[in-house]
């Protein structure tokens, strides 16, 4: 069973894996599943239909799997699903999903959620994401792999953030951010490509060059970004350039950028 403190409350029905550590005065609800090797700090609440994978580190006073902060929620059974090898720091709050968003909030693998982070209902976070201290991520937000969200940022509901992008600290993001980009500000706008991230990600310089060319064509030509993106989807043979263009073509909330004069 692992190392479970004598003051922890594990409700009947909870499933606790091998080598799990649960700290003092922590409460685990009856529908919770915790995978092997996970550590849960003291004074933590894990409730609802919450499934947590292997080798996660959950620090004290985190609250996971409580009902969504959504006035439309009517008591339906919804889920929180957390993958493997995540670090969830102190006072982080993650709610379950709603019937209007697929019934699930999902956190992938290898993520770092720093202290006082809130992940709202129906959010989908992929893998290797860093969300720094005191960020508020509203419901239905989708964040792709390898994204970094700077501290004290707020992300509006239904926004999408593409892979390997960065949101600068203290930003207020109300629109979508394509992959490989940096945004910051209140309201946040695109500032550049995430060049350091691209250099870490891609060994083939031609991929970086293709992404740079695509970014410049879409956001610096002065033409309609949707029209340019659709043209790139037709003519480009680089999958990452197409990925950037596809995000622009598909956006529902729009892309925040400063238009340059032609």
- Which range marks the domain in which residue 239 is found? 197-250
Among the options 116, 118, 121, 140, which is catalytic?
Answer: 121
Domain identity same for 126 and 240: no
The CA distance from 72 to 103, in Å, is 13
CB 232: neighbour CB atoms within 10 A?
A: 22
Among the options 83, 97, 120, 139, which is catalytic?
Answer: 139
Catalytic residue list contains 47: no
Q: 205 in a domain, yes or no?
A: yes
Q: 241 in a domain, yes or no?
A: yes
Q: H or E stretch including 239?
A: helix 239-250
Q: 191 in a domain, yes or no?
A: no
pLDDT profile of the chain (262 residues), mean per 10: 90 98 98 98 98 98 98 96 98 97 97 98 98 98 98 98 98 98 98 94 92 96 95 96 98 92 63
pLDDT of 259:
81
Catalytic residue list contains 43: no
pLDDT of 262:
60
Among the options 70, 122, 127, 176, which is catalytic?
Answer: 122
Domain identity same for 207 and 135: no
Catalytic residue list contains 122: yes
Domain identity same for 19 and 110: yes
Q: 255 in a domain, yes or no?
A: no
Domain end call among 120, 140, 160:
140
* Number of domains within the chain: 2
Domain end call among 109, 140, 171:
140
Q: 262 in a domain, yes or no?
A: no
CB 261: neighbour CB atoms within 10 A?
A: 4
The model carries a pTM of 0.96
């Amino acid at each position: 069973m692992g190392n479970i403190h004598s003051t922890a409350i594990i409700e009947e029905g909870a499933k606790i894996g091998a080598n799990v550590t649960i700290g003092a005065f922590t409460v685990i609800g009856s529908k919770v599943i915790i995978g092997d090797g996970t550590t849960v700090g003291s004074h933590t609440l894990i409730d609802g239909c919450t499934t947590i994978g292997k080798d996660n580190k959950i620090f004290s006073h985190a609250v996971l799997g409580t009902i969504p902060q959504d006035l439309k929620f009517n008591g339906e059974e919804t889920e929180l699903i957390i993958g493997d090898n995540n670090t969830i720091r102190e006072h982080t709050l993650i709610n379950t999903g709603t019937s209007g968003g697929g019934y699930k909030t999902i956190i992938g693998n290898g993520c770092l959620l720093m202290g006082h982070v809130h992940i709202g209902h129906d959010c989908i976070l992929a893998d290797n994401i860093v969300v720094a201290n005191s960020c508020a991520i509203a419901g239905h937000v989708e964040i792709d792999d390898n994204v970094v969200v700077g501290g004290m940022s707020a992300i509006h509901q239904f926004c999408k953030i593409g892979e390997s992008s960065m949101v600068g600290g203290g930003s207020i993001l109300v629109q979508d951010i394509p992959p490989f980009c940096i945004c910051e500000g209140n309201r946040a706008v695109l500032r550049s490509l995430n060049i350091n991230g691209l250099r870490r990600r891609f060994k083939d310089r031609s991929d970086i060059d293709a992404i740079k060319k695509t970014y410049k064509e879409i956001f610096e030509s002065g033409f309609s970004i949707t029209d340019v993106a659709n043209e790139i989807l037709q003519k480009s043979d680089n999958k990452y350039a197409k990925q950037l263009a596809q995000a622009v073509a598909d956006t529902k909330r729009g892309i925040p950028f400063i238009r340059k004069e032609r």
